[in-house]
C-alpha cells in the first residue's frame, strides 16, 4: 500500500481524531516499528509498518463502513452542490476520501444509510441478485385495505407497469396507518410508488434495518458510527 500520513491513517479508523494523534505523539504514546514517533505527519505504510498506539497494536482496515441515522432534508450522495449530503454528516475522525452511500434514501426519508469506501461491498449488497432485505416504517395517509395488503405480498404492479417482487407488509397500529415494510429490491421511490398503487400516500418513511442489522437506537438523527466486522456480517449474511 502507498505511504500515507500517520495521523490520517490513525484518524481514518475512527477511534482517534487528528488532534488526539498529535497529543498522543507529544506524550510519546505512538510508535512505528518500535520507535517512538515525533512527527504525527510522518509517512508510513499502514499495511507493512507496525503502528502501536497507547501500548496496543493499531488495527488498520483498508475500508470503512459507517452507519448513519439520516435526517430529513439531506441528500443520499457524496456531493450535491448547494445541498447537504449524507457524506457531509460524517465527522472528521471517520472521514476519508472515496466515501459514498451504499444505496439511496429519498431526501425526505430518514434512517439507516450505510456509508463506505468499499465499492465491491456496495456492489455486492446492491446487486439485484443478492439484494439484501431492508426494513422500513411508513406512516400513511390512509390505511391499506386487506385486498391491497395481499397484493403487496404477492407483488404490486406499479403505475408504469413494473411488477415488484413480493414484499412483506405488517400493520403496526390499530388504525393501519403505520406499517412495517420489508423489501428485497431498491427501485426509485419504490415504497412511495408501491403504496400509491394501493391507494395510499406515504407521509413519513424511515429505514430501520439493512439485512439483520438494525439502526442503532442510540444514534440521534444526523449521527453516525462505525459498523463492526460482526455487524457487517449481519448485512452480508441476510
CB of 133 to ligand URA, least distance (A): 13
| Residue 169 engages ligand URA in binding (rule: CB under 6 A) | no
Of 156, 206, 214, 205, nearest in space to 185 by CA: 156
Q: Does the annotation mark 118 as catalytic?
A: no
CB of 190 to ligand URA, least distance (A): 4
User: Cα–Cα distance between 205 and 191 in angstroms, integer?
Assistant: 9
Which one of the spans 8-16, 45-53, 189-197, 228-236 is the region binding ligand URA (CB under 6 A)? 189-197
Q: Which residue lies nearer to ligand URA by CB, 106 or 223?
A: 106
Residue pair 144/179 in contact (Cβ under 8 Å)? The answer is yes
When binding is defined by CB under 6 A, the residue of 109, 110, 135, 200 that contacts ligand URA is 109
**In terms of C-beta density within 10 A (0-12 exposed, 13-18 middle, 19 or more buried), how is residue 59 classed?**
exposed
| Residue 189 engages ligand URA in binding (rule: CB under 6 A) | yes
With cell 398503487, the residue in question is 197
| Residue 198 engages ligand URA in binding (rule: CB under 6 A) | no
16: its cell numbers: 482517534
When binding is defined by CB under 6 A, the residue of 191, 198, 215, 235 that contacts ligand URA is 191
Which one of the spans 2-10, 32-40, 105-113, 208-216 is the region binding ligand URA (CB under 6 A)? 105-113
| Residue 182 engages ligand URA in binding (rule: CB under 6 A) | no
When binding is defined by CB under 6 A, the residue of 20, 72, 88, 106 that contacts ligand URA is 106
CB of 232 to ligand URA, least distance (A): 21
CA dihedral 14, 19, 21, 22 (to 10 degrees): 170
User: Cα–Cα distance between 136 and 207 in angstroms, integer?
Assistant: 4
| Residue 114 engages ligand URA in binding (rule: CB under 6 A) | no
| Residue 190 engages ligand URA in binding (rule: CB under 6 A) | yes
Q: What angle do CA 187, 237, 111 make, to 5 degrees?
A: 50
User: Cα–Cα distance between 41 and 92 in angstroms, integer?
Assistant: 16
Interacting residue ranges for ligand URA, rule: CB under 6 A = 105-106, 109, 189-192, 205
Amino acid at each position: 500500500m502507498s505511504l500515507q500520513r500517520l495521523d490520517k491513517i490513525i484518524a481514518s479508523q475512527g477511534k482517534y481524531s487528528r488532534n488526539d494523534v498529535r497529543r498522543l505523539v507529544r506524550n510519546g504514546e505512538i510508535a512505528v516499528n518500535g520507535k517512538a514517533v515525533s512527527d504525527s505527519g510522518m509517512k508510513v505504510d499502514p499495511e507493512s509498518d507496525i503502528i502501536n498506539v497507547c501500548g496496543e497494536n493499531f488495527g488498520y482496515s483498508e475500508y470503512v463502513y459507517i452507519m448513519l441515522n439520516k435526517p430529513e432534508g439531506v441528500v443520499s450522495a457524496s456531493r450535491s452542490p448547494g445541498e447537504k449530503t449524507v457524506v457531509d454528516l460524517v465527522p472528521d475522525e471517520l472521514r476519508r476520501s472515496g466515501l459514498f452511500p451504499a444505496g439511496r434514501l429519498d431526501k425526505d426519508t430518514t434512517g439507516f444509510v450505510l456509508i463506505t469506501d468499499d465499492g465491491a461491498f456496495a456492489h455486492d449488497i446492491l446487486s439485484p441478485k443478492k439484494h439484501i432485505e431492508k426494513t422500513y416504517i411508513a406512516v400513511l395517509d390512509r390505511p391499506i385495505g386487506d385486498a391491497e395488503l395481499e397484493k403487496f405480498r404477492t407483488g404490486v404492479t406499479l403505475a408504469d407497469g413494473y411488477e415488484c417482487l413480493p414484499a412483506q407488509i405488517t400493520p403496526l397500529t390499530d388504525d393501519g396507518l403505520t406499517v412495517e415494510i420489508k423489501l428485497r429490491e431498491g427501485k426509485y421511490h419504490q415504497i412511495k410508488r408501491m403504496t400509491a398503487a394501493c391507494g395510499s400516500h406515504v407521509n413519513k418513511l424511515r429505514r430501520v434495518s439493512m439485512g439483520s442489522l438494525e439502526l442503532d437506537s442510540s444514534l440521534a438523527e444526523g449521527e453516525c458510527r462505525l459498523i463492526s466486522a460482526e455487524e457487517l456480517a449481519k448485512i452480508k449474511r441476510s
